[in-house]
Structure 1
Protein backbone atom coordinates (compact mmCIF):
# COMPACT_ATOMS: atom_id res chain seq x y z
CA UNK A 1 0.00 0.00 0.00
CA UNK A 2 2.83 2.37 0.88
CA UNK A 3 4.50 1.68 -2.47
CA UNK A 4 1.25 2.45 -4.33
CA UNK A 5 0.90 5.73 -2.43
CA UNK A 6 4.50 6.70 -3.29
CA UNK A 7 4.00 5.91 -6.98
CA UNK A 8 0.71 7.83 -7.02
CA UNK A 9 2.36 10.79 -5.32
CA UNK A 10 5.20 10.77 -7.87
CA UNK A 11 2.75 10.66 -10.78
CA UNK A 12 0.68 13.53 -9.36
CA UNK A 13 3.83 15.59 -8.70
CA UNK A 14 5.09 14.98 -12.24
CA UNK A 15 1.70 15.96 -13.67
CA UNK A 16 1.63 19.20 -11.67
CA UNK A 17 5.20 20.07 -12.68
CA UNK A 18 4.45 19.38 -16.35
CA UNK A 19 1.23 21.37 -16.25
CA UNK A 20 2.99 24.31 -14.59
CA UNK A 21 5.83 24.23 -17.15
CA UNK A 22 3.39 24.08 -20.08
CA UNK A 23 1.38 26.96 -18.60
CA UNK A 24 4.53 29.09 -18.15
CA UNK A 25 5.68 28.33 -21.69
CA UNK A 26 2.23 29.21 -23.05
CA UNK A 27 2.31 32.52 -21.16
CA UNK A 28 5.76 33.24 -22.58
CA UNK A 29 4.66 32.42 -26.14
CA UNK A 30 1.66 34.70 -25.70
CA UNK A 31 3.91 37.50 -24.38
CA UNK A 32 6.22 37.12 -27.40
CA UNK A 33 3.33 37.22 -29.88
CA UNK A 34 1.83 40.26 -28.19
CA UNK A 35 5.01 42.36 -28.13
CA UNK A 36 7.35 41.08 -30.87
CA UNK A 37 6.29 43.67 -33.47
CA UNK A 38 6.94 46.49 -30.98
CA UNK A 39 10.36 45.03 -30.15
CA UNK A 40 11.27 44.77 -33.85
CA UNK A 41 10.17 48.37 -34.51
CA UNK A 42 12.21 49.62 -31.54
CA UNK A 43 15.21 47.62 -32.79
CA UNK A 44 15.02 49.35 -36.17
CA UNK A 45 14.74 52.76 -34.48
CA UNK A 46 17.48 52.30 -31.86
CA UNK A 47 19.73 49.36 -32.78
CA UNK A 48 18.91 47.45 -29.59
CA UNK A 49 18.18 43.87 -30.69
CA UNK A 50 14.53 42.82 -30.50
CA UNK A 51 15.72 39.58 -28.88
CA UNK A 52 17.36 41.58 -26.08
CA UNK A 53 14.28 43.75 -25.56
CA UNK A 54 11.98 40.74 -25.28
CA UNK A 55 14.46 38.46 -23.51
CA UNK A 56 15.25 41.01 -20.81
CA UNK A 57 11.57 41.93 -20.41
CA UNK A 58 10.58 38.27 -20.09
CA UNK A 59 13.33 37.62 -17.57
CA UNK A 60 12.73 40.71 -15.45
CA UNK A 61 8.91 40.56 -15.49
CA UNK A 62 8.23 36.84 -15.64
CA UNK A 63 6.73 37.38 -19.10
CA UNK A 64 4.56 40.18 -17.76
CA UNK A 65 3.37 38.27 -14.68
CA UNK A 66 5.32 40.11 -11.95
CA UNK A 67 3.57 42.58 -9.66
CA UNK A 68 5.44 45.59 -11.04
CA UNK A 69 4.75 44.50 -14.62
CA UNK A 70 1.05 44.12 -13.96
CA UNK A 71 0.57 47.16 -11.72
CA UNK A 72 3.11 49.63 -13.10
CA UNK A 73 3.59 48.41 -16.72
CA UNK A 74 7.28 48.16 -15.80
CA UNK A 75 8.71 45.21 -17.71
CA UNK A 76 12.39 45.79 -16.88
CA UNK A 77 12.54 46.55 -13.17
CA UNK A 78 13.52 50.16 -13.85
CA UNK A 79 13.65 52.12 -10.60
CA UNK A 80 12.88 55.79 -10.06
CA UNK A 81 9.96 58.02 -10.77
CA UNK A 82 9.02 59.27 -7.34
CA UNK A 83 7.57 56.25 -5.57
CA UNK A 84 4.72 54.82 -7.59
CA UNK A 85 1.77 53.53 -5.58
CA UNK A 86 -0.46 50.60 -6.43
CA UNK A 87 -2.80 48.24 -4.62
CA UNK A 88 -2.11 44.55 -4.18
CA UNK A 89 -4.50 42.29 -2.26
CA UNK A 90 -6.35 45.39 -0.98
CA UNK A 91 -3.13 46.81 0.49
CA UNK A 92 -1.48 50.01 -0.60
CA UNK A 93 2.04 49.35 -1.90
CA UNK A 94 4.57 52.15 -2.37
CA UNK A 95 7.14 51.12 -4.89
CA UNK A 96 10.58 52.40 -5.80
CA UNK A 97 9.95 51.21 -9.37
CA UNK A 98 8.94 53.53 -12.19
CA UNK A 99 5.34 53.53 -13.42
CA UNK A 100 4.68 53.58 -17.17
CA UNK A 101 1.48 54.48 -18.98
CA UNK A 102 1.83 51.35 -21.13
CA UNK A 103 4.05 48.34 -21.72
CA UNK A 104 5.20 49.98 -24.94
CA UNK A 105 6.39 53.02 -22.93
CA UNK A 106 8.42 50.62 -20.77
CA UNK A 107 9.98 49.02 -23.88
CA UNK A 108 10.84 52.44 -25.33
CA UNK A 109 12.39 53.59 -22.05
CA UNK A 110 14.55 50.46 -21.86
CA UNK A 111 15.85 51.17 -25.37
CA UNK A 112 16.47 54.81 -24.39
CA UNK A 113 18.42 53.69 -21.32
CA UNK A 114 20.52 51.33 -23.44
CA UNK A 115 21.32 53.96 -26.08
CA UNK A 116 21.48 57.22 -24.10
CA UNK A 117 22.78 56.47 -20.61
CA UNK A 118 26.55 56.71 -20.50
CA UNK A 119 26.69 53.44 -18.56
CA UNK A 120 25.26 51.52 -21.56
CA UNK A 121 25.48 53.78 -24.64
CA UNK A 122 28.86 52.36 -25.69
CA UNK A 123 27.07 49.10 -26.51
CA UNK A 124 25.07 50.72 -29.30
CA UNK A 125 28.29 52.18 -30.70
CA UNK A 126 30.19 48.89 -30.53
CA UNK A 127 27.57 46.21 -31.28
CA UNK A 128 25.17 45.54 -34.11
CA UNK A 129 21.51 44.69 -33.64
CA UNK A 130 22.45 41.11 -34.63
CA UNK A 131 24.90 40.58 -31.75
CA UNK A 132 22.43 39.67 -29.00
CA UNK A 133 25.09 37.69 -27.10
CA UNK A 134 27.39 40.72 -27.00
CA UNK A 135 24.51 42.90 -25.86
CA UNK A 136 23.49 40.55 -23.04
CA UNK A 137 27.05 40.21 -21.76
CA UNK A 138 27.72 43.95 -22.19
CA UNK A 139 24.55 44.92 -20.32
CA UNK A 140 25.57 42.67 -17.43
CA UNK A 141 29.17 43.97 -17.40
CA UNK A 142 27.83 47.53 -17.38
CA UNK A 143 25.98 46.89 -14.13
CA UNK A 144 22.35 46.38 -15.15
CA UNK A 145 21.92 43.47 -12.74
CA UNK A 146 23.92 42.26 -9.76
CA UNK A 147 23.50 38.55 -10.49
CA UNK A 148 26.50 36.90 -12.14
CA UNK A 149 24.07 34.55 -13.94
CA UNK A 150 21.91 37.33 -15.41
CA UNK A 151 23.23 37.28 -19.00
CA UNK A 152 23.19 33.47 -19.09
CA UNK A 153 19.56 33.52 -17.94
CA UNK A 154 18.57 36.10 -20.56
CA UNK A 155 20.46 34.19 -23.26
CA UNK A 156 18.68 31.02 -22.14
CA UNK A 157 15.32 32.69 -22.74
CA UNK A 158 16.44 34.02 -26.12
CA UNK A 159 17.65 30.57 -27.18
CA UNK A 160 14.64 28.70 -25.78
CA UNK A 161 12.18 30.81 -27.78
CA UNK A 162 14.46 31.51 -30.80
CA UNK A 163 14.09 35.24 -30.20
CA UNK A 164 17.25 35.92 -32.22
CA UNK A 165 15.11 35.21 -35.31
CA UNK A 166 13.42 38.56 -34.63
CA UNK A 167 16.75 40.35 -35.07
CA UNK A 168 17.19 39.18 -38.65
CA UNK A 169 16.19 41.30 -41.60
CA UNK A 170 13.55 39.68 -43.87
CA UNK A 171 16.18 38.88 -46.53
CA UNK A 172 18.39 37.16 -43.91
CA UNK A 173 15.46 34.99 -42.83
CA UNK A 174 14.85 33.93 -46.44
CA UNK A 175 18.52 32.99 -46.87
CA UNK A 176 18.54 31.03 -43.61
CA UNK A 177 15.37 29.15 -44.56
CA UNK A 178 16.77 28.32 -48.02
CA UNK A 179 19.90 26.71 -46.52
Structure 2
Protein backbone atom coordinates (compact mmCIF):
# COMPACT_ATOMS: atom_id res chain seq x y z
CA UNK A 1 0.00 0.00 0.00
CA UNK A 2 1.58 3.30 -1.08
CA UNK A 3 1.96 6.10 1.43
CA UNK A 4 -0.27 9.13 0.97
CA UNK A 5 1.76 12.26 1.85
CA UNK A 6 0.26 14.25 4.71
CA UNK A 7 0.02 17.56 2.88
CA UNK A 8 -1.26 16.13 -0.39
CA UNK A 9 -4.67 15.22 0.99
CA UNK A 10 -4.65 17.86 3.74
CA UNK A 11 -5.95 15.52 6.44
CA UNK A 12 -4.91 13.48 9.45
CA UNK A 13 -4.55 9.70 9.29
CA UNK A 14 -7.41 9.07 11.69
CA UNK A 15 -8.98 5.74 10.64
CA UNK A 16 -7.68 2.46 12.06
CA UNK A 17 -6.80 0.90 8.69
CA UNK A 18 -4.61 3.82 7.61
CA UNK A 19 -2.94 4.01 11.00
CA UNK A 20 -2.16 0.29 11.02
CA UNK A 21 -0.71 0.50 7.52
CA UNK A 22 1.43 3.45 8.52
CA UNK A 23 2.65 1.68 11.68
CA UNK A 24 3.45 -1.46 9.68
CA UNK A 25 5.54 0.42 7.12
CA UNK A 26 7.34 2.37 9.84
CA UNK A 27 8.02 -0.90 11.68
CA UNK A 28 9.62 -2.27 8.48
CA UNK A 29 12.15 0.55 8.76
CA UNK A 30 10.86 2.34 5.68
CA UNK A 31 12.44 5.85 5.85
CA UNK A 32 9.50 7.40 4.00
CA UNK A 33 7.05 5.80 6.42
CA UNK A 34 9.06 7.03 9.39
CA UNK A 35 9.03 10.57 8.01
CA UNK A 36 5.27 10.35 7.37
CA UNK A 37 4.61 8.98 10.85
CA UNK A 38 6.63 11.88 12.30
CA UNK A 39 4.48 14.36 10.36
CA UNK A 40 1.31 12.71 11.64
CA UNK A 41 2.64 12.79 15.19
CA UNK A 42 3.48 16.50 14.91
CA UNK A 43 0.08 17.28 13.43
CA UNK A 44 -1.71 15.49 16.26
CA UNK A 45 0.46 17.30 18.79
CA UNK A 46 -0.31 20.68 17.21
CA UNK A 47 -4.03 19.83 17.27
CA UNK A 48 -3.83 19.09 21.01
CA UNK A 49 -2.08 22.43 21.60
CA UNK A 50 -4.75 24.33 19.67
CA UNK A 51 -7.49 22.53 21.60
CA UNK A 52 -5.83 23.43 24.91
CA UNK A 53 -5.60 27.07 23.86
CA UNK A 54 -9.30 27.14 22.97
CA UNK A 55 -10.23 25.46 26.26
CA UNK A 56 -8.26 28.11 28.17
CA UNK A 57 -10.07 30.96 26.40
CA UNK A 58 -12.90 32.63 28.28
CA UNK A 59 -16.29 32.18 26.56
CA UNK A 60 -19.45 34.25 26.96
CA UNK A 61 -21.73 31.23 26.54
CA UNK A 62 -24.19 33.18 24.39
CA UNK A 63 -23.18 31.63 21.07
CA UNK A 64 -21.76 28.31 22.26
CA UNK A 65 -23.24 25.26 20.55
CA UNK A 66 -22.33 21.76 19.46
CA UNK A 67 -22.16 22.94 15.86
CA UNK A 68 -19.74 25.72 16.75
CA UNK A 69 -17.54 23.29 18.71
CA UNK A 70 -17.51 20.92 15.74
CA UNK A 71 -16.52 23.76 13.45
CA UNK A 72 -13.68 24.76 15.77
CA UNK A 73 -12.47 21.16 15.91
CA UNK A 74 -12.42 20.89 12.11
CA UNK A 75 -10.64 24.25 11.82
CA UNK A 76 -8.04 23.16 14.39
CA UNK A 77 -7.43 19.99 12.38
CA UNK A 78 -6.81 21.99 9.21
CA UNK A 79 -4.48 24.38 11.01
CA UNK A 80 -2.54 21.50 12.60
CA UNK A 81 -2.05 19.86 9.21
CA UNK A 82 -0.84 23.09 7.62
CA UNK A 83 1.60 23.80 10.46
CA UNK A 84 3.18 20.33 10.50
CA UNK A 85 5.98 18.94 8.36
CA UNK A 86 7.80 22.26 8.01
CA UNK A 87 11.60 22.20 7.49
CA UNK A 88 13.40 22.36 10.83
CA UNK A 89 10.20 21.62 12.70
CA UNK A 90 9.11 19.09 15.30
CA UNK A 91 8.57 16.30 12.76
CA UNK A 92 12.26 16.36 11.83
CA UNK A 93 13.21 15.85 15.47
CA UNK A 94 10.72 12.99 15.88
CA UNK A 95 11.87 11.30 12.65
CA UNK A 96 15.51 11.45 13.71
CA UNK A 97 14.78 9.91 17.09
CA UNK A 98 12.63 7.16 15.59
CA UNK A 99 15.34 6.40 13.05
CA UNK A 100 17.98 6.08 15.76
CA UNK A 101 15.76 3.83 17.86
CA UNK A 102 15.04 1.58 14.86
CA UNK A 103 18.66 1.47 13.71
CA UNK A 104 17.88 3.28 10.46
CA UNK A 105 19.98 6.01 8.89
CA UNK A 106 18.49 9.44 9.59
CA UNK A 107 15.58 10.21 7.30
CA UNK A 108 16.09 13.21 4.99
CA UNK A 109 15.31 16.26 7.06
CA UNK A 110 16.59 19.71 7.81
CA UNK A 111 18.68 20.19 10.94
CA UNK A 112 16.58 21.35 13.85
CA UNK A 113 17.62 24.31 16.01
CA UNK A 114 19.28 23.42 19.29
CA UNK A 115 16.62 25.42 21.14
CA UNK A 116 13.71 23.32 19.80
CA UNK A 117 11.83 21.52 22.54
CA UNK A 118 8.52 19.78 23.03
CA UNK A 119 6.13 18.98 25.81
CA UNK A 120 5.27 15.49 27.01
CA UNK A 121 1.55 15.71 26.29
CA UNK A 122 1.74 13.95 22.96
CA UNK A 123 -1.35 12.24 21.54
CA UNK A 124 -1.81 8.54 22.25
CA UNK A 125 -2.28 7.64 18.56
CA UNK A 126 -0.34 6.63 16.59
CA UNK A 127 1.41 4.66 19.38
CA UNK A 128 5.05 5.44 18.65
CA UNK A 129 8.01 5.53 21.06
CA UNK A 130 7.72 8.43 23.50
CA UNK A 131 10.08 11.39 23.36
CA UNK A 132 11.85 12.74 26.45
CA UNK A 133 9.82 15.55 28.10
CA UNK A 134 11.30 19.04 28.02
CA UNK A 135 9.95 22.56 28.23
CA UNK A 136 7.87 24.01 25.42
CA UNK A 137 8.87 27.57 26.23
CA UNK A 138 12.44 27.68 24.92
CA UNK A 139 11.42 28.06 21.27
CA UNK A 140 9.47 31.25 21.94
CA UNK A 141 10.71 34.75 21.14
CA UNK A 142 13.24 35.94 23.77
CA UNK A 143 11.57 37.78 26.65
CA UNK A 144 12.74 41.02 28.19
CA UNK A 145 14.17 40.41 31.65
CA UNK A 146 15.20 42.71 34.48
CA UNK A 147 17.96 42.78 37.07
CA UNK A 148 15.42 42.25 39.86
CA UNK A 149 14.09 39.11 38.15
CA UNK A 150 17.63 37.77 37.74
CA UNK A 151 18.42 38.51 41.38
CA UNK A 152 15.24 36.79 42.54
CA UNK A 153 15.98 33.62 40.56
CA UNK A 154 19.64 33.55 41.60
CA UNK A 155 18.74 34.02 45.28
CA UNK A 156 16.19 31.20 45.42
CA UNK A 157 17.15 28.63 42.81
CA UNK A 158 19.34 26.56 45.13
CA UNK A 159 16.39 25.97 47.48
CA UNK A 160 14.09 25.28 44.51
CA UNK A 161 16.57 22.82 43.00
CA UNK A 162 16.74 20.92 46.29
CA UNK A 163 12.96 20.58 46.44
CA UNK A 164 12.87 19.53 42.78
CA UNK A 165 15.03 16.52 43.65
CA UNK A 166 12.54 15.58 46.38
CA UNK A 167 9.29 16.27 44.53
CA UNK A 168 9.94 15.97 40.80
CA UNK A 169 8.45 19.41 40.11
CA UNK A 170 10.88 21.42 37.91
CA UNK A 171 12.70 24.13 39.83
CA UNK A 172 12.09 26.61 37.03
CA UNK A 173 8.32 26.05 37.33
CA UNK A 174 8.39 26.75 41.07
CA UNK A 175 10.68 29.77 40.68
CA UNK A 176 8.53 31.21 37.91
CA UNK A 177 5.35 30.82 39.93
CA UNK A 178 7.01 32.29 43.01
CA UNK A 179 8.19 35.22 40.89
CA UNK A 180 4.69 35.80 39.55
CA UNK A 181 3.03 35.53 42.97
CA UNK A 182 5.46 37.93 44.67
CA UNK A 183 6.20 40.37 41.86
CA UNK A 184 9.71 38.88 41.71
CA UNK A 185 10.21 39.53 45.41
CA UNK A 186 8.79 43.07 45.49
CA UNK A 187 5.46 42.12 47.06
CA UNK A 188 6.20 39.24 49.38
CA UNK A 189 3.66 38.53 52.10
CA UNK A 190 4.76 40.09 55.40
CA UNK A 191 3.87 39.30 59.00
CA UNK A 192 2.13 41.96 61.09
CA UNK A 193 5.49 43.11 62.47
CA UNK A 194 6.96 43.53 59.01
CA UNK A 195 9.10 40.39 58.99
CA UNK A 196 8.89 38.04 55.98
CA UNK A 197 6.39 35.19 56.06
CA UNK A 198 8.50 33.31 53.45
CA UNK A 199 5.23 32.47 51.64
CA UNK A 200 6.22 32.55 47.97
CA UNK A 201 3.07 31.02 46.47
CA UNK A 202 0.17 32.81 48.13
CA UNK A 203 -0.99 29.60 49.84
CA UNK A 204 -3.79 30.43 52.27
CA UNK A 205 -4.13 29.11 55.81
CA UNK A 206 -7.21 26.90 55.68
CA UNK A 207 -8.93 25.14 58.59
CA UNK A 208 -6.38 22.30 58.51
CA UNK A 209 -3.33 24.57 58.82
CA UNK A 210 -1.76 24.56 62.32
CA UNK A 211 1.35 26.62 61.60
CA UNK A 212 2.00 30.34 61.70
CA UNK A 213 -0.32 32.76 59.89
CA UNK A 214 0.06 36.14 58.21
CA UNK A 215 -3.05 38.29 57.60
CA UNK A 216 -2.91 40.64 54.62
CA UNK A 217 -5.22 42.49 52.24
CA UNK A 218 -5.29 40.82 48.87
CA UNK A 219 -7.13 40.97 45.53
CA UNK A 220 -9.55 38.18 44.63
CA UNK A 221 -11.62 37.86 41.45
CA UNK A 222 -15.35 37.31 41.97
CA UNK A 223 -17.28 36.73 38.74
CA UNK A 224 -14.32 38.21 36.88
CA UNK A 225 -14.28 41.40 38.97
CA UNK A 226 -11.32 42.25 41.28
CA UNK A 227 -12.27 42.64 44.94
CA UNK A 228 -10.13 43.60 47.95
CA UNK A 229 -10.38 41.24 50.90
CA UNK A 230 -8.44 40.35 54.06
CA UNK A 231 -7.12 36.79 53.99
CA UNK A 232 -4.99 34.52 56.15
CA UNK A 233 -1.87 33.07 54.56
CA UNK A 234 0.54 30.40 55.73
CA UNK A 235 3.85 31.57 57.21
CA UNK A 236 7.12 29.61 57.23
CA UNK A 237 10.58 29.77 58.76
CA UNK A 238 12.45 29.74 55.42
CA UNK A 239 11.97 29.91 51.66
CA UNK A 240 12.89 26.25 51.39
CA UNK A 241 9.93 25.39 53.62
CA UNK A 242 7.71 27.40 51.28
CA UNK A 243 8.92 25.39 48.27
CA UNK A 244 8.40 22.15 50.21
CA UNK A 245 4.84 23.05 51.22
CA UNK A 246 3.99 24.06 47.65
CA UNK A 247 5.38 20.79 46.26
CA UNK A 248 3.40 18.85 48.87
CA UNK A 249 0.23 20.68 47.85
CA UNK A 250 0.69 19.94 44.14
CA UNK A 251 1.76 16.32 44.61
CA UNK A 252 -0.77 15.28 47.27
CA UNK A 253 -3.92 17.29 46.61
CA UNK A 254 -6.19 15.38 44.18
CA UNK A 255 -7.40 18.59 42.53
CA UNK A 256 -3.91 19.09 41.03
CA UNK A 257 -3.55 15.54 39.70
CA UNK A 258 -3.73 16.69 36.06
CA UNK A 259 -1.12 19.40 36.65
CA UNK A 260 1.28 16.80 38.07
CA UNK A 261 1.09 14.94 34.75
CA UNK A 262 2.07 18.03 32.73
CA UNK A 263 5.48 18.96 34.13
CA UNK A 264 7.00 18.48 30.67
CA UNK A 265 5.00 21.40 29.24
CA UNK A 266 4.96 24.92 30.66
CA UNK A 267 1.69 25.85 28.94
CA UNK A 268 -0.11 22.62 29.86
CA UNK A 269 1.05 22.81 33.49
CA UNK A 270 -0.14 26.42 33.84
CA UNK A 271 -3.48 25.64 32.17
CA UNK A 272 -4.11 22.70 34.47
CA UNK A 273 -3.35 24.78 37.56
CA UNK A 274 -5.88 27.37 36.43
CA UNK A 275 -8.50 24.71 35.65
CA UNK A 276 -7.98 23.28 39.14
CA UNK A 277 -8.69 26.70 40.65
CA UNK A 278 -5.24 27.54 41.99
CA UNK A 279 -6.01 31.25 41.47
CA UNK A 280 -9.13 33.28 40.68
CA UNK A 281 -7.45 35.49 38.07
CA UNK A 282 -8.98 34.46 34.68
CA UNK A 283 -5.65 35.23 32.96
CA UNK A 284 -3.58 33.30 35.48
CA UNK A 285 -2.40 30.56 33.07
CA UNK A 286 -0.96 32.96 30.50
CA UNK A 287 0.74 35.08 33.17
CA UNK A 288 2.23 32.02 34.85
CA UNK A 289 3.48 30.60 31.53
CA UNK A 290 5.29 33.85 30.81
CA UNK A 291 6.84 33.93 34.31
CA UNK A 292 8.15 30.36 33.98
CA UNK A 293 9.52 31.11 30.50
CA UNK A 294 11.26 34.18 31.92
CA UNK A 295 12.86 32.05 34.63
CA UNK A 296 14.10 29.48 32.14
CA UNK A 297 15.54 32.18 29.91
CA UNK A 298 17.39 33.72 32.86
CA UNK A 299 18.80 30.33 33.84
CA UNK A 300 19.98 29.63 30.30
CA UNK A 301 21.71 32.98 29.99
CA UNK A 302 23.37 33.25 33.41
CA UNK A 303 26.61 31.60 34.61
CA UNK A 304 24.97 30.77 37.94
CA UNK A 305 22.33 28.63 36.19
CA UNK A 306 21.17 25.76 38.37
CA UNK A 307 18.89 22.82 37.81
CA UNK A 308 15.97 24.04 35.64
TM range (shorter): 0.5 to 0.7
Offset of 1:67 from its aligned partner? 4.3
Which residue of 2 is the match for residue 119 of structure 1? 255
Distance in 2 separating the partners of 1:30 and 1:154: 19
Q: For each residue in 1:124-174, what CA deviation from the matched residue of structure 2 results, as whole angstroms up to 9, or x when unmatched?
A: 2x23x43222211111111001111111111112223435968xxxxxx9x
RMSD, aligned CA: 3.1
Following TM superposition, the consecutive aligned residue runs of length 4 or more in structure 1 with deviations greater than 4 angstroms are 163-166
Which residue of 1 is the match for residue 267 of structure 2? 133
Answer yes or no: is 1:72 the counterpart of 2:206: no
Equivalenced residues, count: 138
Which residue of 2 is the match for residue 84 of structure 1? 213
Q: Is the 8 A contact 2:176 2:293 kept in 1?
A: no
Distance in 1 separating the partners of 2:278 and 2:297: 20
- Look up the SS of the partner of 1:68 in the other structure: coil
Which residue of 2 is the match for residue 62 of structure 1? 183
Distance in 2 separating the partners of 1:47 and 1:67: 25
Q: For each residue in 1:99-148, what CA deviation from the matched residue of structure 2 results, as whole angstroms up to 9, or x when unmatched?
A: 11111111111111000011113432x23x43222211111111001111
Larger helix proportion, structure 1 or 2?
1
Q: Go from structure 1 to structure 2 and tell me whether the alpha carbon gap of 1:96 and 1:78 turns closer, same or farther (over 3 Å shift).
A: same
Which residue of 2 is the match for residue 43 of structure 1? 164
Distance in 2 separating the partners of 1:25 and 1:164: 9
Which residue of 1 is the match for residue 153 of structure 2? 32
| Corresponding residue to 1:103 among 234, 239, 250 | 239
- Look up the SS of the partner of 2:291 in the other structure: helix
Distance in 2 separating the partners of 1:164 and 1:119: 31
Please give the TM-score of this superposition, normalised by the length of structure 2: 0.40
Q: Is the 8 A contact 2:215 2:232 kept in 1?
A: no
Runs of 5+ consecutive residues of structure 1 not aligned to the other structure: 1-21, 88-93, 167-172, 174-179
Which residue of 2 is the match for residue 162 of structure 1? 296
Distance in 2 separating the partners of 1:152 and 1:144: 13
Distance in 2 separating the partners of 1:141 and 1:100: 27
Please give the TM-score of this superposition, normalised by the length of structure 1: 0.65
